[in-house]
Amino acid sequence: MIPCLSGRITVLAALAAFTPVSAAWALDPVTFGDGEWLQLGAGLRISGTDDKVSGAPSKTDFNVDSFRVYVNGGLNNVFKFTLNTERAPDATIRVLDFYARAEFNDAFNIWGGRLLPPSDRANLDGPYYLSSYVYPGVVSNYPSIFDGRLNGSTIWGKFLDKKLVYAVGVYEGHNVNNAASADGGEPLFAGRVTYDFWDAEDNPGYYTSSTYYGKADILALGIAGQYQNNAVGTVLRNGAFSGVSVDALMEKKVLNGGAVTLEGAFYHYGTQGVIDVPTNYDGATPYSNVGGLTSGNAFLLSAAFLFPQQILWGQIQPVVRYQQFDADLLHTTTRQIDGGINYIIKGHNARISLVYSHTEQTNQPDDSKFLAGLQVQF
């Protein structure tokens, strides 16, 4: 069921007041001599939603989806650090990233602390660098302790004019920090390889983006995998977790300022036939919402088109995306389709999004949601 028009107008009117009058801002690094430097930034995502679950009244909410403070610094050209914070769902501010960086050259670098492990493109995009405002949480389900992060260390590098990117690492995995029932303290191993057949993506580290708004011609193929022994289940019956994903991105510049963007991904998650039940599971909450790892197959398809015409401050980009997760042990299927329009003011640093999402899940009521969101970074 499509949300009521009045709810949409209310959401849009509220967000219009936050529309930026300029594109984005940048703070230059502050230097202290002897190669020492410090750089600050911030990110904000706010939205209004009109949500209709089948059989229930429509609900309108206004949300701070994300508020991040970015801090980067260095002692010299090799030894650096990153500290990012994030607003948690309970409105507290938590450490998102905190890691030391030893960056020797393009081919060999070491990051250690709390950070994003090698995984799928969606997770390495994070919410700020997707083509859609809505994170693809139906399919992207690698272990994490907070917003996709784990504690550990990553070795990464780039070869062949930065077109071949690798990242491998060892981390505290599932249950170690969440104190779940299979808590065996086993490490999680993760790796990813990406190759860019056209232009190099050339993002910071091994991180990614799902659209470059026509700044480059991209044809990228990525393969990621994670494994952790004794990661799921209970003390009496536990199993290993394994995850493998393949993702591809194509973006082609067209019409002198426009771009066609196509993205796809396939996932396979395994738990050795063990259902991962956290110790605090109440037995009533839909299992997909309680934080356990689920075995099964999933896929994602997405398409976007950036119109070349400038309208006031920015450009229009329609986006459509489909996700599906088939959980084999739970015998459930979740499907979600998102369709919307982005108004791109300055890339990922300033954009407004309108999104309609419809979600269907086995034995659960359908959910239809209209969202208007604003994203800014500096």
Q: Which runs of consecutive H residues, i.e. helices, occur in the chain?
A: 5-16, 121-125
Residue 133's nearest CA partner among 326, 372, 306 is: 372
| Dmax (CA) of the chain | 65
Q: What is the pLDDT along the chain (378 residues), one digit of tens a residue?
A: 333 434 443 433 333 333 333 333 447 889 988 889 999 999 999 999 999 999 999 999 999 999 999 999 999 999 999 999 999 988 999 999 999 999 999 999 999 999 999 999 999 999 999 999 999 999 998 998 889 999 999 999 999 999 999 999 999 988 754 445 455 678 999 999 999 999 999 899 999 999 999 999 999 999 999 999 988 887 778 889 999 999 999 999 999 999 999 999 999 999 999 888 655 555 555 444 445 788 999 999 999 999 999 999 999 999 999 999 999 998 999 999 999 999 999 999 999 999 999 999 999 999 999 999 999 999
178-195 burial, b for 16+ CB within 10 Å, e for fewer? bebbbbeebbbbbbbbbb
Q: Which pLDDT score is estimated for 351?
A: 98
CB burial class (10 A; 0-12, 13-18, 19+) of residue 22?
A: exposed
- β pairing state of 332-346 and 350-361: antiparallel
Cβ neighbours of residue 249 under 8 Å, at least 6 residues apart? 121, 208, 210, 218, 219, 220, 261, 262, 263
Contact indicator for 326, 298 with CB cutoff of 8 Å: yes
Domain containing 112 equals 5-377
Contact indicator for 81, 74 with CB cutoff of 8 Å: yes
Measured between alpha carbons, how far is 174 from 297 in angstroms, rounded to an integer?
A: 19
Contact indicator for 116, 82 with CB cutoff of 8 Å: no
Contacts within 8 Å (CB) and 24+ apart, 309-312:
309/257, 310/257
Measured between alpha carbons, how far is 186 from 166 in angstroms, rounded to an integer?
A: 24
Q: Which pLDDT score is estimated for 28?
A: 85
218-233 burial, b for 16+ CB within 10 Å, e for fewer? bebebebbbbbbbbbb
Q: Which pLDDT score is estimated for 280?
A: 55
Q: Which pLDDT score is estimated for 42?
A: 97
**Looking at the 3D structure of the chain, how many domains does it have?**
1
CATH code, domain with 27: 2.40.160.10
